[in-house]
Structure 1
Amino acid sequence: MHLLFVADPIASFKTHKDTTYTMMREATRRGHAITVCEPRHLRWQSGQQVMAQVRDIALTGDEKAWFTESAPRDAALADFDAVLMRKDPPFDAEFIYATHLLEQAEREGARVINKPAALRNHPEKLAVMEFPRFVGPTLVTRSPDDVKRFHAEHGDIVLKPLDGMGGMGIFRVGPDGLNLGSITETLNHHGATTFMVQKFLPEITAGDKRIILIDGEPAPFVLARIPQGSEVRGNLAAGGKGVAQPITEADRATARAIGAVLAPRGLLLIGLDIIGTKVTEINVTSPTGFREILDQTGCDVPGMFVDAVERAGR
């Protein structure tokens, strides 16, 4: 197969933990060809197919100088066996525009993973609204009065932007309500921006569990991201410690129920976040955690994913 990865600049990858790198490494091990581009390299012109300025890469086996690359060339997305959209959030207007270009490429015959319309229709934070029975108390609003009422009801809350990643912009406000007004103004930009508020889940001390779903089926191990020190965020980018552990039967059941709904929509890869027993986010843009699970347990999540890509590409 010939795979095109649409991703952030690959020179910025931290190969010791990067999931996209593990996908490329496994694909290369199987003899598949790897080509890359960034969303900014996509283009469409009337009378032509969706094109991109791409570079063919070869992996060296050295995780520092880990790739060599060809000179840039133009290629039609429909000419690849699969196009893997792996651009990190934020889920902003440029991301939306990229999904429209990728959707046009689908109409021309390209096979895009995850499906562009599904990426667009399932923003990370808001996708939980479809599954209220699995979600703890949650509010989506831009109203300071709504936030005050939610805080009065639940006492200890977490506030976060809808377009963040890696724990960016997350605040916790305890029963004293200290700085609630200021934090609300910061997140809603004085009423201009919608954001999310959730009841604080004390089970976070045991970790924010990342469950990897591939074609609707959860991997047998999860990555529990455990906050360190006084930090309330378990995100690895915020200093959390990633500990791989076997999936519980309760989490497996939750993951399968959600996967059964979302996988048929074209979401081949999902990163489901659970604290305690409550789903907090459904990540579909560029879920991570492959490398940590593989290194700590030997569970070949990259292999499971490339198996699914191969099946989808047939």
Structure 2
Amino acid sequence: MRVLVIMDPIQQVNLKKDSTMAMLWVASRRGHQLGYAQQQDLYIDQGKAFGLVSALQVFEQQVPHYQLAEPKKQSLADYDIILMRKDPPFDMNFVYTTYVLEQAEREGAWVVNKPQSLRDCNEKLFATQFPELQVPTLVTSQHILIREFIDTHQDVIVKPLDGMGGAGIFRLSAGGPNIGSTLEMLTVLGTVPIMAQRYIPEIVDGDKRILMVHGEPVPYCLARIPQNGEVRGNLAAGGLGEARPLTEKDREIAKKVGPFLREKGLVFVGLDVIGEYVTEINVTSPTCIREIDAQFGTSIADLLFDVLENKKNYV
């Protein structure tokens, strides 16, 4: 197949942790032809989707780990698969990119994950479609409602709807001295909605990332364990990653969410689970492939390409 990856600068990836590189290595091993572009390289000309695309070779070593040819104008529909692996922030530029990718989709390319669903399924809000799997959760910009929520639940996590890597997450307790200033900052003086969730004590045992491939869970998850008194388990915030087999409850959660992911064309997704509760559903560029593979000898990217190579069964 011809596989195009849309990603952040390949020169800057962390080879020990980057899930996109794991996907590209597997694609290369399987003999697929690779193309590379960044978000700003995509465009529409006379109603058709194009990109300034570079032929890409990848190498499973530190130096060099890639080789790029000179970029050339190419129709995005020339590619069988387009892997949309641009990291957040989910901003208007990201939204514009999904429109270009949607045009490529109309022309016959399979975009993973589906562009419309990347727009529709905010990683925090999407999880609220499964209230039976969540702790009490409130989404609002209104300080009075958030204060009532904190008074009710006493110990609460608040976070922005567009954050990643644990950025902007705060733990607030009833009567705490910093509630007002924290809410002013996160809601931009009451104009931007945020999420408040009852604090889940099981975070000390890890914030589990369960990877889903075409609605089915990978048998192992990565528990990201907070360190040094932190409330956040995110690896980007210094969390320790420990791979574990899925529990029975993890599998129950995956079974409930999986059909919705397939329906929305979300082929590669990361569920965030603390204790027995889903906190987020990550659809943009989920990670943790490398850490799980390293600790359990799996090849999660091979599971993904098993699906991609059988496109006719899924599209």
TM-score, L = length of structure 2 = 0.97
Contact 2:25 2:59 in 1 (8 A): no
Alpha-carbon distance in structure 1 between the residues aligned to 2:159 and 2:91: 16
Does the 8 Å CA contact 1:213/1:270 hold for their aligned counterparts? yes
The answer as to whether partners of 1:78 and 1:108 remain within 8 angstroms in 2 is yes
Secondary structure in 2 matching 1:129: helix
Q: Would you say the 8 A contact 1:77–1:105 is kept in 2?
A: yes
Amino acid at match of 2:22: T
SS of aligned partner of 2:150: helix
Equivalent in the alignment of 1:266: 265
Q: Which residue of 2 aligns with 1:248?
A: 247
Q: Give the whole-Å Cα distance in 1 for the aligned partners of 2:224 and 2:22.
A: 19
Q: 1:63 Cα deviation (Å)?
A: 2.3
- Paired residue type of 2:28: T
1:12-23 pair list within 5 angstroms:
12-23=12-23
Q: What is the Cα deviation at residue 313 of structure 1? A: 6.1
Q: Is the 8 A contact 2:7 2:86 kept in 1?
A: yes
String of CA shifts for 1:168-204, please: whole Å, max 9, x gaps: 1111112342201100001011122111111110100
Helix, strand or coil at the partner of 1:75: strand
Structure 2: which 5+ runs fail to align?
Answer: none
Of stretches 131-140 and 174-183 in structure 1, the one that deviates more from structure 2 is 174-183
Give the TM-score normalised by structure 1: 0.97
Aligned 1:231-310 pairs, distance under 5 A: 231-310=230-309
Q: CA RMSD in A?
A: 1.1
CA contact (8 A) 1:220 1:247 kept: yes
Deviation at 1:24, TM superposition (A): 0.3
1:125-173 CA distances to partner (integer Å, 9 max, x unpaired)? 1101211110111110001101100000001111111111000111111
> In terms of mean alpha carbon deviation, does 270-279 or 168-177 score higher?
168-177
Q: Is the 8 A contact 2:44 2:50 kept in 1?
A: yes
- In the alignment, the residues of structure 2 paired with residue 15 and residue 308 of structure 1 have an alpha-carbon distance, to the nearest angstrom, of 24
Deviations 1:225-265, CA, capped at 9 Å, x for gaps: 00001111000000000000000011111112101122122
Shift of 1:70: 0.3
Q: Name 2:114's counterpart in structure 1.
A: 115
Q: Partners of 1:61 and 1:7 in 2: how far apart?
A: 18
Distance in 1 of aligned mates of 2:62 and 2:28: 14
Q: Following the alignment from structure 1 to structure 2, what is the Cα–Cα distance between the partners of residues 17 and 283?
A: 17
Which of 15-24 and 99-108 deviates more? 99-108
Shift of 1:86: 0.5
> Whole-Å Cα distance in 1 between the matches of residues 284 and 311 of structure 2?
18
* Alignment of 1:63 onto 2:62: yes
Aligned residues of 1:15 and 1:64 also touching (Cα < 8 A): no
Q: Deviations over 1:30-70 (max 9, x none)?
A: 11111111111110022x52001111111133224201110
The match for 1:89 is 88
The alpha-carbon deviation at position 305 of structure 1 amounts to: 1.0
CA distance in 2, matches of 1:178, 1:24: 48
State the one-letter code of the partner of 2:29.
R
Aligned pair count reads: 313
For 2:290 and 2:59, locate their aligned partners in 1 and report how far apart those are by CA, in whole Å: 18
Identity of aligned residues (%): 46
- For 2:184 and 2:61, the matched residues in 1 are separated by 47
Letter in 1 for 2:219: P
Distance 2:155 2:11 in 1: 41
Give me the whole-angstrom Cα distance separating, in 2, the residues matched to 1:312 and 1:7. 22
Distance in 2 between residues matched to 1:223 and 1:313, nearest whole Å: 31
Corresponding position of 1:51 = 50
